[in-house]
Amino acid sequence: MLVYEYKVDGNHKQYAAIDEVSRVVQFIRNKCVRLWMDGKRVSHNDLQTYCAVLAKVYPFASRLNSQARQASADRAWFAISRFYENCKEKKPGKKGYPKFQHNNRSVEYKQTGWQLDDDGKHITFTDGCGLGRLRLVGNKKQHIETFPVKAIKRVRIIRRADGYYVQFAVKTERSVSHVSSGKEIGIDVGLKAFLTDSQGNTVENPRHYRKAEKKLKRLGRRLSRKQKRSSNRKKARKALAKQHLKVQRQREDFARKTASALVSSHDLIAYEHLHIRNMVRNRKLAKSIHDAGWGIFLHWLAYYGTVHAIQILAVPPHFTSQQCSECDTIVKKSLSVRTHVCPRCGLVMDRDQNAAKNILEKALSSHRGCTGGHSETGGLAP
Ligand SMILES: [Zn+2]
């Protein structure tokens, strides 16, 4: 799936209508969750049927396109099935018991209830919710109108801190002819750099990470100083939300570009399957922004790996930083030790590069033997 995003240019009445539809979606989702809580053995199918019941009882629900109604029920089912899965896997800690949603900011249409102009510059929502015709403002390079309408599987409207957006999810068989370089690398999360590869190359953390984090902190402090329910507080909250959005976009942009560059210049990439959530908890290990960036980076790595049809392999994290990449001796070292020095074979190497070499080696050996590490080249949508 490709996702094309446009900013919406509409009037106040239309924006109010979008907010209203978001509330209807939330209402349906919460009603479905309530049905599941109250009843026993409610299936996905039951929720779909329940949508029609809700539409009969509540006029505002009946005005929403029927597929969009079902998509709202799907959200409830998503929360319910995730809970079931966590229970089945006996995941430690909280299982994520479905909650009622209070601040929904999006609406999802499927293949009906909207119509795109031939030039791709306007979209009209045709159900009874009063959204009408909206102008789409987007990147000049993206042309949603070039895709057959049938290929557009979802249209999602989202409210963000700086306005309203429409996203189109397009099903395409996107692929590029990969120019083979014969190069295979392992990569490791750097403690100082963003990543270090098995050749010793590093990709530095973008400078804006640190700056953005400082600004987030400052805006957060400012918000906490404002009086509750005051207009100044409202302003401060908005400023903070905007800064979060900015950071999120910068992070996404950096991750996408880095992943794209890496994939197009290699034939195989191996990385360590880290548990990002555990990393975030460990404040000393890395900055939270960096951790979030790594997760998004891996997502794009998988995406470009699919597009280029190259292998992206994940290896389980065992001793990759402790083992000597030359002679396999385990050399214990704390996080503060930056250099790997092997007492047995005399190898002296940057700690992260040594780890990256181990990661590549592990991926290649398990790949050849077809055991252990698992491929992550799935059809991931960004
Ligand atoms: Zn050694």
88-92, 151-155, 374-378: which range is least confident on average?
Answer: 374-378
Residue of 193, 178, 182 lying closest to 356 (CA atoms): 193
Report the percent of the chain where pLDDT is more than 70: 90
Rounded distance between C-alpha atoms, residue 265 and residue 268, angstroms: 9
Between the CA of 330 and the centroid of ligand 1 the distance, in Å, is 8
CA 250–ligand 1 middle distance (angstroms): 40
User: What is the per-residue pLDDT for 111?
Assistant: 95
Task: Render pLDDT for 291-345 as a digit per residue (tens, 0 to 9).
Answer: 668 888 998 998 899 888 899 998 888 888 899 999 999 999 887 888 999 999 9
Q: How far apart are the first and last CA of the chain?
A: 8
Distance, in Å, from the CA atom of 80 to the CA atom of 99, rounded to the nearest integer, reads: 9
**What pLDDT band is residue 285 in, cutting at 50, 70 and 90?**
very low
pLDDT at 286: 42
| Centroid of ligand 1 to alpha carbon of 340 (angstroms) | 9
- How many whole angstroms from 80 Cα to the centroid of ligand 1? 50
Amino acid at 279: M
Domain 184-208+250-375 falls under CATH 3.30.420 = yes
Q: Which two tokens stand for residue 306?
A: 């699919």
Please calculate the CA angle 203-206-208 and round it to the nearest 5 degrees: 175
Could you tell me the distance, in angstroms and rounded to a whole number, from the CA of residue 348 to the centre of ligand 1? 9
Query: Does residue 350 contact residue 263 with C-beta atoms inside 8 Å?
Result: no
Beta strands (DSSP E) in the chain are 2-9, 106-109, 114-116, 122-125, 132-137, 152-160, 163-170, 184-189, 195-197, 202-203, 268-272, 311-315, 339-341, 348-350, 374-375
**What is the whole-number distance in angstroms between the Cα of residue 82 and the centre of ligand 1?**
45
Domain boundaries, the chain: 2-170, 184-208+250-375
Using the mean position of ligand 1's atoms as its centre, give its distance from the Cα of residue 321 in Å: 12
C-alpha angle with apex 75: 117 to 44, nearest 5 degrees?
A: 115
Q: Quote the pLDDT of residue 376.
A: 41
Gap from CA of 331 to ligand 1 centroid (Å): 8
**In this structure, are residues 123 and 114 in contact, taking their beta carbons and an 8 Å threshold?**
yes
At residue 333, φ and ψ (nearest 5 deg) are: -150, 145
**Mean model confidence pLDDT for the chain:** 87
> What pLDDT, on a 0 to 100 scale, did the predictor assign at position 139?
79
Distance 272 CA to ligand 1 centre (A): 21
State which amino acid sits at residue 306.
Answer: T
How does pLDDT run across 192-223, given as a tens digit for each residue? 788 999 999 999 888 777 788 788 889 989 99
**pTM for the whole structure:** 0.69
The Cα 324–Cα 7 span in angstroms is: 51
pLDDT at 370 over 80: no
pLDDT of residue 368: 67
